[in-house]
């Protein structure tokens, strides 16, 4: 049957009624790609899979939450949505608002957004405000605005965002035929780790799975408030999507970690870029730097011999590599310019 998005597929597990509109772009149903290189690296006959969330309609996992948040906003009679964003939430909000025919306002930290995401927010017709501050400042502002004005907040503090995003867990369990042993995921505002954990717990309660994975979350070293145990006032990382110093779902992320007996740790920008390039070079999978944080964490833990027996591991690749073309170009040698002469080109390519 034709895939019609996560609300249609998982309505039984979502807070909707027959009256809830379905603002969808057929999000979800993303591939779970086997990684030969990472499986070998982890060893013991383990299997590593990449959940390629960059293949959602706007190129990130945010669409799973946004389809529901915007549908519920419409159901409640709202005609406008607002969010703060490190980029992907704004791209998704702008897109689904366009589809729903409602107004969208996005507050972005000035000069700290990957180009592709800004392009998306703008082309979908959102009103874009650049805040001369960081994501945490912008989130503070939209929280206040949504309290004072008739505009629906669609950051992940909106519970419908979490509800929609939990469907990622359902898909993984179905694609594997079981839950993974370990779930690796980047952590920024901490909504996604919260959502995945909720999803796994609900499938266990429903009797669809009989065990739960360990939740393995990774922050960037320069933006690791949960790991350090305090707010980071000036978060810094090349992984701009997770450049967040005071995550909204901090407590819930700790709960996911503790209940699952997992880990929230941090990885350096250097390790993030190493994983980012490795995925592109060795697996043909292009994700954005923030997504590579989960894989950087996996590589680091494999090096430390964290895994002692065969394990099924899923890494969530949260966003597409094309979101941040500048970073890709900066990460590699620049193309050689040659005169249009056959012998010069042949010489360059080694024939």
Residue number, 6 or 241, with CB nearest to ligand AN7: 241
∠ CA 74-61-259, rounded to 5°: 100
169 lines the binding site for ligand AN7 (CB under 6 A): no
Task: State the nearest-atom distance from the C-beta of 243 to ligand AN7, in Å.
Answer: 9
Task: State the nearest-atom distance from the C-beta of 27 to ligand AN7, in Å.
Answer: 15
**H or E segment at 166?**
none
With CB under 6 A as the contact rule, the residue among 223, 319, 321, 324 that binds ligand AN7 is 319
Point out which residues pair with 316 in neighbouring strands.
51
Task: Give the C-alpha separation, 196 to 183, whole Å.
Answer: 9
Task: State the nearest-atom distance from the C-beta of 340 to ligand AN7, in Å.
Answer: 40
- For 328, the 3-state DSSP assignment is helix
Residue number, 35 or 189, with CB nearest to ligand AN7: 189
240 lines the binding site for ligand AN7 (CB under 6 A): no
With CB under 6 A as the contact rule, the residue among 24, 120, 152, 192 that binds ligand AN7 is 192
With CB under 6 A as the contact rule, the residue among 58, 67, 246, 291 that binds ligand AN7 is 291
Torsion angle of C-alpha atoms 308, 309, 311, 315, degrees rounded to 10:
20
CB 257 within 8 A of CB 215: yes
Task: Give the C-alpha separation, 213 to 312, whole Å.
Answer: 9
65 lines the binding site for ligand AN7 (CB under 6 A): no
Task: State the nearest-atom distance from the C-beta of 252 to ligand AN7, in Å.
Answer: 10
Task: State the nearest-atom distance from the C-beta of 190 to ligand AN7, in Å.
Answer: 5
CB 32 within 8 A of CB 51: yes
Taking every pair of C-alpha atoms in the chain, what is the biggest distance, in angstroms?
68
Task: Give the C-alpha separation, 125 to 113, whole Å.
Answer: 17
180 lines the binding site for ligand AN7 (CB under 6 A): no
Task: State the nearest-atom distance from the C-beta of 130 to ligand AN7, in Å.
Answer: 14
CB 227 within 8 A of CB 167: no
CB 278 within 8 A of CB 293: no
With CB under 6 A as the contact rule, the residue among 24, 56, 85, 252 that binds ligand AN7 is 85
245 lines the binding site for ligand AN7 (CB under 6 A): no
Residue number, 151 or 187, with CB nearest to ligand AN7: 187
Contacts with ligand AN7, residue ranges (CB under 6 A)? 60, 85-89, 156, 186-192, 241-242, 288, 290-291, 318-319
């Amino acid at each position: 049957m034709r895939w019609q998005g996560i609300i249609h597929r998982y309505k039984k597990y979502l807070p909707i009624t027959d009256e809830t509109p379905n603002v969808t772009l057929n999000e979800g149903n993303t591939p779970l790609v086997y990684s030969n290189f990472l499986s070998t690296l982890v060893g013991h006959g383990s299997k590593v899979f990449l959940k390629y969330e960059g293949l959602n309609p706007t190129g990130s996992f945010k669409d799973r939450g946004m389809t529901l948040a915007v549908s519920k906003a419409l159901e409640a009679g709202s005609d406008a949505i607002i969010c703060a964003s490190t980029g992907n939430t704004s791209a998704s909000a702008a897109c689904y608002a366009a589809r729903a025919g409602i107004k969208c306002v996005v507050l972005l930290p000035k000069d700290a957004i990957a180009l592709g995401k800004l392009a998306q927010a703008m082309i979908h017709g959102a009103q874009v405000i650049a805040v001369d501050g960081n994501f945490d400042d912008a989130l503070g502002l939209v929280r206040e605005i949504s309290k004072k004005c008739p505009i629906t907040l669609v950051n992940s503090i909106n519970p419908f965002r979490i509800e929609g995003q939990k469907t990622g867990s359902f898909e993984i369990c179905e694609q594997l035929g079981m839950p993974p042993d370990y779930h690796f995921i980047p952590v920024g505002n901490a909504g996604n780790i919260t959502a995945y954990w909720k999803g796994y717990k609900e499938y266990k309660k429903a009797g669809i799975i009989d065990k739960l994975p360990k939740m393995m979350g990774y922050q960037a070293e320069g933006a690791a408030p949960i790991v350090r145990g305090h707010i980071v006032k000036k978060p810094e990382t090349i992984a701009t999507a997770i450049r967040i110093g005071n995550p909204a779902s901090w407590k819930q992320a700790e709960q996911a970690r503790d209940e699952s007996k997992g880990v929230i740790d941090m990885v350096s920008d250097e390790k993030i870029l190493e994983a980012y390039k490795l995925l592109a070079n060795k697996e043909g999978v292009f994700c954005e730097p923030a997504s590579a944080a989960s894989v950087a964490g996996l590589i680091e833990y494999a090096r430390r011999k964290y895994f002692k027996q065969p394990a099924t591991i899923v890494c969530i690749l949260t966003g597409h590599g094309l979101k941040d073309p500048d970073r890709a170009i900066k990460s590699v040698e620049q193309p050689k310019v040659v005169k249009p002469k056959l012998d010069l080109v042949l010489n360059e390519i080694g024939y």
